[in-house]
Amino acid sequence: MVSLNPVQIFNAGAEEEKAETARLSSFVGAIAIGDLVKSTLGPKGMDKILQSSGGIEVTNDGATILKSIGIDNPAAKILVDISKVQDDEVGDGTTSVVVLASELLRESESLISQKIHPQTIISGWRKATDEARRALQNFARDNGNNETKFREDLMNIARTTLSSKILTQYKDYFANLAVDAVLRLKGSGNLDAIHLIKKSGGGLQDSYLDEGFLLDKKIGVNQPKRIENAKILIANTPMDTDKVKVFGTKVKVDAVSKVAELELAEKEKMRDKVNKIIKHGCNVFINRQLIYNYPEQLFADAGVMAIEHADFEGVERLALVTGGEIASTFDSPDHVRLGKCNVIEEVMIGEDKLIKFSGVEMGEACTIVLRGATKQILDEAERSLHDALCVLTQTVKETKTVFGGGSSEMLMADAVSKLAAKIPGKEAVAMESYAKALRMLPTTIADNAGYDSAQLVSELRALHTAGKHTMGLK
């Protein structure tokens, strides 16, 4: 006998959505995400204040905003992932990709209500994507072989990126700073060689680019404050076992003097470890972990500069720029590669002391010191400058450039509309909706600036139809 009882595959209380209901839910969630970040798009885009357990952030960076909100809608989560990928791969344009994707979904909702099948829409959009890409590639300009013009391209790209950020008041200053830093990389594209340090105090215009590497630490007590021709041993090893931690350890002894003997044994172990480190021929020892007073004193007696508790990213970056390796054992000095630099000295920035490494082996290494009034300003300035550095690095690899201000979107929309006019069938309707979604980007930029978007975008459309593809919003 066959049982006809349905099998329950969902958890108790789970909800199930199917067909039109599920599709509508996806549309609503994704469009809501687009509307959330839409107001931050463009040079006049507004910042958002994000409050969380970690404190307050003020930002208009799309990826940062979307990372900070809790979402349970699957379509909306996909848009968040799109912004993350854009941030990782390109650095900027995180808001643009989300707004474009949400506008495409808004258009598709309208097409679905007209009983156009999703596969027909997708087919039309694929043709539209190919045509838009072709139009963009044909119009792109390449000044990679002309050093002067290429630097001007980089400056314009940096200005465009910074125009929508907190640094817009000083965009020329920071654009120049970012371009100088990226051109030092000599095409390697290794952004790890550019170190960003935030120091509160002063104004944003007090920020500057410093050659070499700055480590946000102090030199130990009684250590040399300046060393030339430095040979640096970078380590991640415990240097805090010169005392028996009686309060955290159960020690059973016949007399108190035995504890002293234990401590002496610990000190001897530490002395042996320090001697092994010194045998590497280094005159600078930088450790990821703490260095207690006794080993610090031993290093000072040997004339070795000891720097403790260097943050992990700082140590990784330092190993990269000085050409050294991070060591954790010291029995084989021949197998450990020391870092090198010409001069190590202590410098003052604002009220803080930092350690400056000049003449490092990786000559392109540099540090950007950001100054600002508050933590929120400094954090947003760091995000803004990081976006500019990422975009410039990508431009150095792929030297083709296109115009901004909605010009490229209108160019692509014009090409798609012209192709749609030649294609019979429902695919043409989908392609027209694709062009409409592209036009929503300059529309949003104009809306955020308080202008009449309907008037401006219709004028732009007429100009691009007439072949004036360099026209955009300014």
Enumerate the active-site residues: 61, 94-95, 387
Find the Cα–Cα–Cα–Cα dihedral 439, 443, 446, 447, rounded to 10°. -170
Place of tokens 């260095």: 291
Q: Round to whole Å and give the CA distance between 306 and 355.
A: 12
Strand partners, 52: 55
- Phi/psi for 320 (5° steps) reads -65, -50
| DSSP-based three-state secondary structure for 217 | coil
C-beta of residue 353 within 8 angstroms of C-beta of residue 185: no
CA-closest candidate to residue 327, choices 341, 344, 339: 339
Place of tokens 């380590």: 235
Bin 198: left if φ > 0, else alpha if -120 < ψ < 50, else beta. Answer: beta
Q: Round to whole Å and give the CA distance between 37 and 450.
A: 17
CA-closest candidate to residue 135, choices 438, 442, 445, 454: 438
Cβ partners under 8 Å of residue 427, min gap 6: 120, 123, 124, 127
C-beta of residue 158 within 8 angstroms of C-beta of residue 175: yes
Q: Round to whole Å and give the CA distance between 366 and 125.
A: 45
Cα distance from N-terminal residue to C-terminal residue, the chain: 76
Q: Round to whole Å and give the CA distance between 363 and 4.
A: 75
Cβ partners under 8 Å of residue 316, min gap 6: 192, 326
